[in-house]
Amino acid sequence: MAEISFQAITKQFGSSTKPSVDAVTFTVPSDTTCMFVGKSGAGKTTLLRMVNRLIEPTSGKIVIAGANVLEEDPIELRRHIGYVIQQVGLFPHMTVAENIRVTAEVTGGWKKSRLDARVDELLDLVGLPPSEYRRRFPRELSGGQQQRVGLARALTTDPMILLMDEPFGALDAITRAQMQDELLRIQSNVRKTILFVTHDLEEALKLGDLIAVMHQGKLEQLGAPVDLLTHPVNDMVARLVGSDNILRELQYLTAATAATAGARGRFAPGEALPGCPRDASLLSAMLKLFETGAPALVLESPGAGVGGGAGGGSGASGGGGGAAGDYITLASIISTLMKGRSREGWPESATLAASGADSGNSGNSGNGGNGGKGADGLALAKA
Ligand SMILES: Nc1ncnc2c1ncn2[C@@H]1O[C@H](COP(=O)(O)OP(=O)(O)O)[C@@H](O)[C@H]1O
Ligand SMILES: [Mg+2]
């Protein structure tokens, strides 16, 4: 359990006239992944490196699991904080196994036999079969494999926290995507609090539970990816996350986001409709509607049956006859996409028309199938 709380944290380097990180305050809940995004020079790396005290703050506090990091012994602190950077920094004359154990050996407290087992465990975890890779040297590895070793090394002491500074930035697109999937898999196994700097927005949307947008040393917005896409606080954030990018929304918003009760009554009871998982992307739902020519898809929750709770309360609850929000239609998808755009000057009438098209037949669902759905009700497609 390691919640990380930044409290008016500030860094002004001696040589500069304004702070590189300027009174930044926010909290990253335990076991979540927070992505730092923003232009080059925004202060992301500086913010990250103050967590393990590679950079000492000018003022403010960073509190991890209740303890102020400035009151910790820096060496002891780093035992609990893994650190992964783009330049992996493996020692060329040491084998993979030696590179992985070196942190644990330096920080001490590990028995040799326990460390041997730990190295193999970690190689397995990062997808490098130990018998094949344990004795290799870094020069005998691809860039992606070196980065895997770097990740294994950061996990050796089983830290509660991982700091990652553009770790996949130097990898080709395919390897980068594999490493991202690997990190998601590892995170679902071992649960760390991860702070991850990236300039790749797709990476931020894919990996982040939270995204912190930095701009000129200040925290511009903190939110779930879906909040940033649908409710950017200003034009700078909107441009950065590409809130105007419909394809991106189709890829990253879930089918549950467009759940509607309004489709009921449009087709005969008992008419067989194709199903669609609630956590599928809007894009795949839309393609399925096109492919099947069906008027609607039935949203299905994994394991919970149709209309189960996985939608996180996204359905309007006003419907009198059974669970609301259990269908998805082209109109409900369009209405969802329009909603995120109303702040950018879409004509209000167009938005109303789109929701109206869907709520028209629902009769008893009050303010329409999609009505009253805030950002909280939205969910992000991770598939
Ligand atoms: N050691 C340093 N000395 C002086 N200025 C620095 C130092 N490190 C970073 N900076 C400045 O702080 C600002 C933020 O840098 P950084 O945190 O590396 O940004 P980012 O990681 O977002 O690209 C930049 O203007 C950079 O020039
Ligand atoms: Mg940086």
Domains along the chain?
4-243 (3.40.50.300), 250-377 (no CATH)
Q: What pLDDT score was predicted for residue 311?
A: 37
* Ligand 1 within 6 A of CB of 19: no
Q: Tokens in use for 200?
A: 């790749």
Going by C-beta distance under 8 Å and a sequence separation of 6 or more, which residues neighbour residue 162? Answer: 81, 82, 83, 84, 154, 155, 192, 193, 194, 195, 196
C-beta 198 within 6 A of ligand 1: no
- Minimal-distance CA residue to ligand 1 atom 3: 13
Helices and strands (H, E) in the chain, number of each type: 14, 14
Q: Is the CB of 243 under 6 A from ligand 1?
A: no
Q: How far, in Å, from the CA of 42 to the mean position of ligand 2?
A: 8
Q: Binning pLDDT at 50, 70 and 90, where does residue 380 land?
A: low
pLDDT at 267: 63
pLDDT, tens only, 230-258? 788 998 998 888 767 788 888 888 898 88
Write down the pLDDT at residue 376. 39
For the chain, give the percent of residues with pLDDT over 90: 44
Whose C-alpha lies nearest to ligand 1, atom 26? 41
Residue 271 pLDDT? 67
Find the 43 Cα to ligand 1 centroid distance in Å.
6
Any idea which ligand is nearest the CA of 18? Answer: 1
As a whole number of angstroms, the distance between CA 354 and CA 357 comes to: 5
pLDDT band of residue 309 (cuts 50, 70, 90) is: very low
Residue 360 CA, distance from chain mean position: 36
| Ligand 1 pocket, residue 43 CB under 6 Å | yes
Atom 25 of ligand 1 has which residue's CA nearest to it?
Answer: 41
* CA of 217, nearest ligand number: 1
pLDDT reading at 127 higher than 70:
yes
CA of 198 to the centre of ligand 2 (A): 8
Q: Is 262 in the pocket of ligand 1 (CB under 6 A)?
A: no
Per DSSP (E only), the strands in 224-357 are: 275-277, 297-301, 305-306, 327-328
Cβ contacts of residue 158 below 8 Å, gap of 6+?
none
Q: pLDDT of 326-350, one tens digit each?
A: 889 888 888 888 775 654 444 443 3
Is 0.85 topped by the overall pTM? no
How far is residue 309 from each of residues 13, 129, 188, 304, 322, measured CA to CA in Å?
50, 39, 21, 7, 13
189 lines ligand 1 (CB under 6 A): no
State the Cα–Cα distance between residues 30 and 160, nearest whole angstrom: 9
- Average pLDDT of the chain, as a whole number: 81
For the purposes of burial, counting CB atoms within 10 Å of the CB of 316, is it exposed (0-12), middle (13-18) or buried (19 or more)? buried
**CA separation for the pair 259, 269 (Å, rounded):** 18
